[in-house]
């Protein structure tokens, strides 16, 4: 999400930007980003009132009724909204290799944003997949095959920017291994 989307999200749900980040980091904690979330909470401690407000709006759920960080979880209905979009883009970013091998040896930076910034790249990805979780799942299913093909030298690697711009996930439809297997015993 970019700044404008975050502000719209806050206005839509009647929360402050700080509360948004409480919700966002709580969501990220459950996705395996516990250290990042803890760093945020140490640098920006919240008040009990801020958390109670989120609990009353049913944005957060507490397993024991307290405002204690480890008992908090994002309501599944709420996480299906804008937070999920950002998580899809972040998941692609994290899964995409930092580097790819060059044909003549060496590596190139595959996660380059070409000066656009990570948020712009993620936003473009979400636009290209129409913010559809099912399309994102398709991309994430194809990505390991694409990476394997690049690492095996069967196709050239692309920067994440070009991977998104060219919608490379649509070109990798079948495993490369099956495309070139000789078909012995087949009559012509």
pLDDT for the residue 101: 86
Q: What is the mean pLDDT of residues 54-76?
A: 85
Q: What is the mean pLDDT of the chain?
A: 80
Neighbours of 110 (CB within 10 A): 20
Q: Which of residues 188 and 89 earns the better pLDDT score? A: 89
Which of residues 113 and 155 earns the better pLDDT score?
Answer: 155
Top pLDDT among 167 and 122 is at: 167
Domain regions of the chain by residue span: 3-79, 82-178
Confidence of residue 182 (pLDDT cuts 50, 70, 90): very low
The three-state DSSP-derived secondary structure of the chain is CCHHHHHHHHHHHCCCHHHHHHHHHHHHHCCCCHHHHHHHHHHCCCCHHHHHHHHHCCCEEECCCCCCHHHEEECHHHHCCHHHHHHHHHHHHHHCCCEEECCCCCEEECCCCCCCCHHHHHHHHHHHCCCCHHHHHHHHHHHHHHHHHHHCCCCCCCCHHHHHHCCHHHCCCCCHHHHCCCCCCCCC
């Amino acid at each position: 999400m970019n700044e404008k989307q975050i502000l719209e999200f806050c206005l839509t749900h009647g929360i402050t930007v700080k509360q948004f980040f409480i919700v966002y980091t709580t969501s990220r904690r459950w996705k395996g980003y516990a250290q990042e979330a803890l760093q945020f909470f140490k640098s920006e401690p919240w008040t009990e009132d801020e958390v109670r407000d989120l609990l009353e709006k049913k944005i957060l759920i507490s397993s024991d009724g307290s405002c204690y960080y480890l008992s908090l979880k994002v309501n599944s209905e709420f996480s299906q909204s804008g937070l999920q979009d950002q998580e899809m883009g972040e998941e692609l970013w994290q899964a995409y290799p930092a580097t790819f091998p060059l044909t003549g040896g060496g590596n190139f930076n595959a996660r380059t944003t070409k000066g656009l910034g990570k948020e712009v790249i993620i936003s473009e990805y979400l636009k290209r997949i129409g913010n559809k979780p099912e399309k994102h799942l398709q991309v994430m299913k194809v990505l390991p095959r694409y990476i394997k093909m690049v690492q095996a030298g069967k196709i050239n690697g692309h920067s994440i920017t070009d991977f998104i711009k060219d919608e490379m996930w649509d070109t990798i439809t079948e495993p490369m291994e099956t495309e070139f297997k000789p078909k012995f015993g087949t009559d012509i």
